[in-house]
């Protein structure tokens, strides 16, 4: 093969890669966790709404359950979407303290499922998470499915096995069309709330090889390229570029930095600058 042929293939692959990157709208989601009263949530949502200066990035706020209605009212007429932090897999029943997808769909477009804190503190396993994903999709909610390894698993060289298994089991039984409606967040557990973020190269390797690679095995390359995959774990305005400049990474699931409008908006606007 001639040099010109190699060059033509290289340029063609680059253009295709860029096209696939550009067709996925970047997404920044703020997980408020167990923070903010209704009054505080209203103030924060209003500040984010007023400060948002881009339409390039899809923005999602995920407040605690009691704060959802007032944030919903605050965001009316804006482009900002609303999400919940958890959901039960049944539509109704004797499940004290739980919230069903039927209840959420009046308010929310997104729901976080399988966050490492749910797995760790509330013993959610892969089967429970799979059922939640299916329930969310059944009612038109978009799951943000979280996967990621602990520090012990990482140091034992188990990242590939853990991330691949979590991704595969949570999406088992989905049709390709259903899969395109799922967002995945790769959140290495050792980086969540610790101030110790992964670096961009490591995060992209996991996302491209083991998350998107698993999606390709399950649903084919076209579906795998459509699905958005976020990074999460100690994301800040100062380090977001490290991740968002990677073509395989489509945005971020933000924890602590989403609790202040200034820092959250900084992440959003830097993402828009890089991805525009």
Whole-number pLDDT of residue 22: 54
Cα distance between residue 220 and residue 214, in whole Å: 9
| Mean pLDDT in consecutive groups of 10 residues from the start of the chain, 276 residues | 37 41 87 98 98 98 98 98 98 98 98 96 97 98 97 92 98 97 94 78 95 98 98 95 96 97 98 95
Cα distance between residue 262 and residue 267, in whole Å: 9
What phi-psi label fits residue 251: left (phi over 0), alpha (psi between -120 and 50 degrees) or beta? left
Rounded to 5°, angle at Cα 31 from 234 and 139: 140
| 6 given a catalytic annotation | no
Which of 117, 124, 187, 242 is the catalytic position? 187
| pTM value > 0.85 | yes
| 17 given a catalytic annotation | no
Which of 58, 115, 124, 149 is the catalytic position? 115
Q: Of the CATH numbers 3.40.50.970, 3.20.20.70, 3.40.1030.10, 3.40.50.2300, which one belongs to the domain with range 25-275?
A: 3.20.20.70
Q: Which two tokens stand for residue 11?
A: 């340029």
What is the DSSP-derived secondary structure letter of residue 239?
A: T
Whole-number pLDDT of residue 192: 76
Cα distance between residue 231 and residue 250, in whole Å: 8
Closest CA to 67 of 91, 101, 32: 32
Whole-number pLDDT of residue 55: 96
């Amino acid at each position: 093969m001639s040099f010109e042929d190699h060059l033509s293939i290289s340029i063609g692959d680059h253009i295709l890669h860029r096209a696939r990157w550009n067709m996925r709208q970047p997404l920044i989601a703020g997980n408020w966790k167990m923070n903010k009263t209704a009054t505080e949530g209203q103030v924060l949502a209003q500040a984010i709404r007023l400060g948002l200066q881009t339409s390039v990035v899809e923005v999602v706020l995920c407040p605690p359950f009691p704060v959802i209605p007032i944030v919903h009212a605050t965001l009316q007429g804006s482009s900002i979407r609303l999400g919940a932090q958890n959901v039960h897999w049944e539509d109704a029943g004797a499940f004290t303290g739980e919230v069903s997808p039927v209840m959420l769909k009046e308010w929310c477009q997104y729901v976080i499922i399988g966050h490492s804190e749910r797995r760790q503190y509330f013993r959610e396993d892969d089967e429970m998470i799979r059922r939640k994903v299916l329930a969310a999709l059944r009612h038109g909610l978009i799951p943000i499915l979280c996967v990621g390894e602990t520090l012990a698993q990482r140091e034992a060289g188990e990242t590939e096995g853990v991330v691949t298994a979590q991704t595969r089991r949570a999406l088992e039984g989905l049709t390709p069309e259903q899969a395109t409606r799922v967002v995945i967040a790769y959140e290495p557990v050792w980086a969540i709330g610790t101030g110790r973020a992964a670096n961009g190269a490591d995060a992209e390797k996991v996302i491209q090889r083991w998350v998107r690679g698993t999606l390709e095995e399950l649903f084919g390359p076209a579906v795998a390229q459509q699905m958005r995959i976020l990074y999460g774990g100690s994301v800040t305005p100062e380090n977001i570029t490290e991740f968002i400049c990677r073509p395989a990474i489509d945005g971020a699931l933000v924890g602590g930095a989403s609790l202040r409008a200034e820092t959250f908006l900084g992440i959003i606007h830097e993402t828009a600058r890089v991805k525009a």
